[in-house]
Amino acid sequence: MSFMLDDVGLTHGNGFVALSHIHLSAMQGESIALIGPSGAGKTSLLNTIGTHHLPTAGRMQVLGQAASAQSPASTLKVLRSRIGTVHQAAPIPLRQRVVTAVLAGKLGQWPLWKALASLAYPQDLPGARDALARVQLEDKLFARCDQLSGGQLQRVGIARVLYQQAELILADEPVSALDPALSQATVQLLVQEAAARNATLVASLHAVDLALGHFARIVGIRDGRVAFDLPAAQVTDALLQALYANADGSAVALPTLQSLSSTPSDEPSATTPIQVIACR
């Protein structure tokens, strides 16, 4: 078992209930896409599995370890070093060099002396170069992060997780800053990487076609709850319509790679039809 959430709830400090009654588990090596409308709770769920938020209700186990608000900080620190996270906006100091940002993937696994030394003298140039080559950024090894575009920075965040070789990869909208072709290639890279190392991958995606095209298991999230948890081939158009429907029940066009890339805001276009090609 990679993780198990048993009736988990998450209430934020301001009293907002972001997640309720979540039952979700994954075997080691599974790849899962989280989909659902904006504000549904996908990021909250990923942050909870990653132990950055701890459940305020229910029980959670991650990588064989119980994780709760009562867990010792040292236990959570070790656990987090085994989890790789790709953020929507990579939390990378902009003055840092790309090589340092990638090598930071293993800071939690290295002894303190090596981690500190790596800040001044990068400790594993070939490893960083390899990871960057996989996201087509080999030539940016010594660039400063503030010289990169938003999409390049997002790919540096992905290279960092590839370098980390985590047992559990949590990717929160990992391709939101990439064009459709690069989005496809990058999601495929993450899925292939996880499969090759038997790592578990959970990715939240706005584009429904991207999720259905690359992931065997799809979890729909709405209003902080699991709306469905199904093999991609069993996710019907009716389920998707219900997942994304407006609060008054009226239908919306489903968000696709194409509609999202041609719409400046994160609102899906009202006209784009979706072509569902399920992953088998």
16 binds ligand ATP (CB under 6 A): yes
Residue from 2, 20, 43, 118 binding ligand ATP (CB under 6 A): 43
Tell me the window of 13-21, 78-86, 184-192, 231-239 that interacts with ligand ATP (CB under 6 A). Answer: 13-21
CB of 222 to ligand ATP, least distance (A): 9
127 binds ligand ATP (CB under 6 A): no
| Helices (H), ranges, the chain | 42-49, 73-81, 98-103, 112-120, 125-134, 150-164, 180-197, 208-214, 237-244, 257-262
Tell me 104's DSSP state: G
CB of 42 to ligand ATP, least distance (A): 4
**Size of residue set near ligand ATP by CB under 6 A:** 12
Percent of the chain that is helix, strand, coil (3-state, to 5): 40, 20, 40
Alpha-carbon distances, residue 71 vs 61, 64, 75, 108 (angstroms): 11, 13, 7, 18
Tell me the window of 20-28, 37-45, 89-97, 99-107 that interacts with ligand ATP (CB under 6 A). Answer: 37-45
Tell me the window of 40-48, 78-86, 92-100, 146-154 that interacts with ligand ATP (CB under 6 A). Answer: 40-48
Q: Are 100 and 118 in contact (CB under 8 A)?
A: yes
Nearest to 24 by CA among 62, 56, 51: 62
CB of 43 to ligand ATP, least distance (A): 3
14 binds ligand ATP (CB under 6 A): yes
Nearest to 217 by CA among 29, 10, 1, 3: 29
Is 40 or 243 the residue whose CB approaches ligand ATP more closely? Answer: 40
280 class by beta-carbon count within 10 Å (0-12 exposed, 13-18 middle, 19+ buried): exposed
44 binds ligand ATP (CB under 6 A): yes
Residues β-bridged to residue 83:
168
Tell me the window of 34-42, 63-71, 230-238, 256-264 that interacts with ligand ATP (CB under 6 A). Answer: 34-42
Residues 58 to 97: which contact ligand ATP by CB under 6 A? none
Residue from 39, 64, 150, 231 binding ligand ATP (CB under 6 A): 39
Q: What is the sign, positive or negative, of the torsion defined by CA atoms of 58, 82, 14, 222?
A: negative
Tell me 138's DSSP state: G
Is 213 or 255 the residue whose CB approaches ligand ATP more closely? Answer: 255
Cβ of 251: how many Cβ atoms within 10 Å? 10
Residue from 1, 7, 27, 38 binding ligand ATP (CB under 6 A): 38
Residue from 31, 42, 118, 175 binding ligand ATP (CB under 6 A): 42
Q: What is the sign, positive or negative, of the torsion defined by CA atoms of 63, 175, 196, 276?
A: positive
Nearest to 243 by CA among 201, 203, 200, 211: 211
Is 34 or 101 the residue whose CB approaches ligand ATP more closely? Answer: 34
CB of 175 to ligand ATP, least distance (A): 13
Q: Interface with ligand ATP by CB under 6 A: which residues?
A: 12, 14, 16, 18, 36, 38-44
